[in-house]
Structure 1
Amino acid sequence: MTENTNETPIENGEAIDQATQTPAAEGENVNAEAALQEQIATLQQDLLYAKAETQNVRRRAEKEVSDAHAYAATKFARDILSVADNLGRALGALSDEQRADEAFKPFVTGLEATERELLSVFERHGITRIASIDLPLDPNQHQAMVEIPSDKEPGTIVQEMMAGYMMKDRLLRPAMVGVAKKAD
């Protein structure tokens, strides 16, 4: 019987060739394992990016829903501002004699109560009047309509022609104002 040095004892009916178990084959196994590890790392990175993107989309959606709830009435609020303006003009047009006249008292009281209720509704919904008089012009909140000669610092608001309003942190309508300029 001759012995073959390239073969090992028979297992399960087949001879195992020791030549296939060379260092080159082990190197291929190492390379394949390294490639698999690289693939795993790439897939883990992709998974992290996908999770982050999903979280960003969720946050944006939540913010959009929140903004939609907070500012849903913006168009209606802009429209109702003219009602507040007209009510203020009506009260401003009443003279002291008319306010003192007993025949006008219920009318004046009703107008004042309506104005108070309207301002209360504005407050409940985060609608606030923009301060203007004696403040510097802020182009984000004020719209300069005229320049008025004055002894005040140029750019200071000296007259408010129409009140401006904010709804929470958004501008509903800029205040229409007159701004001081150097006297001639």
Structure 2
Amino acid sequence: MTDTTDTSESPELAPESAEIADTSPDIDLAEALLAKDQEIADLKDRVLRALADVENTRRRLDRDKIEATAYAVTGFARDMLAVADNLRRAVAALPADGFDGVRAGIEATERELLAIFGRHHVAKLGITAGAALDPNQHQAMIEVPSDLPAGSIVAELASGWTIRDRLLRPAMVSVARAPD
């Protein structure tokens, strides 16, 4: 058997393929290097932005956790304000004479409730008659004719409360209006 394959072609293929690689059109190594450098710079930028985003998310979650802990009793405190209001109304409704024991008991309960509020940073807003209405702390319920300047507080109808630095409930007030 004779082999009909010509082995003289094999050595010629290697130099031709090397020659083709060297003479490929539009391949500029400097441009390819610049393109790769730009790609590396873009990837570094993306990584840095991703790291910054992760850090910002971590900080936001830490802040949210602190706030959630600090203001966890907000709903409960808001519900308990009705109890504080009713205790104050009960004391005001008692006649001046008699019921001294009942009055003392209700006032002691109110003091204890206010002490508990204080331990949880719930505080009553200080409202003074004649002060200007502040929509961030007061809710005008009615307008009444008064000698006070228009828009100033005449009387407090229900106490306003804060929890730490946040408004828990605005003070419900009557406001002076200009005389007719």
TM-score category of the 2 structures, normalised to the smaller one:
0.7 to 0.9
For the aligned residues, what is the CA RMSD? Answer: 2.5
1:151 Cα deviation after fit: 1.1
Deviates more, 1:73-82 or 1:129-138: 129-138
Q: Tell me, yes or no, if structure 1 residue 138 matches structure 2 residue 142.
A: no
Alpha-carbon distance, 1:54 to partner: 0.5
Gaps of 5+ in 2: 1-13
Q: Does 1:106 align with 2:135?
A: no
Q: Where does the alignment leave 5 or more consecutive residues of structure 1 unmatched? A: 1-13, 99-103
Question: Partner of 2:87 in structure 1?
Answer: 87
SS in 1 for 2:144: strand
Q: Identify the residue that residue 45 of structure 1 maps to in structure 2.
A: 45
Kindly report which structure 2 residues correspond to 1:1-184, keeping only aligned pairs within 5 A, or say none.
28-98=28-98, 104-133=99-128, 134-184=130-180
Which deviates the most, 45-54 or 71-80?
71-80
How big is the shift at 1:164? 1.5
Q: CA deviation at 1:131?
A: 2.6
Paired amino acid for 1:154: A
Deviates more, 1:81-90 or 1:129-138: 129-138
Greater shift, 168-177 or 75-84, is seen at: 168-177
SS at 2:97 equivalent: helix
1:105-163 CA-partner distances (Å, limit 9, x unpaired): 33322222211111111111121212333221112221111111111111110111111
Aligned residues: 163
Letter of the 2:167 partner, please give it. Answer: L
Give the aligned residue type for 2:109: T
Q: Residue 39 of structure 1 aligns to which amino acid in structure 2?
A: E
SS in 1 for 2:175: strand
How much has 1:170 moved relative to structure 2? Answer: 2.5
Once residues 116 and 150 of structure 1 are traced to their aligned partners in structure 2, the CA distance between those partners, rounded to angstroms, is 34
Identity of aligned residues (%): 46
Name the stretch that deviates more: 120-129 or 107-116: 107-116
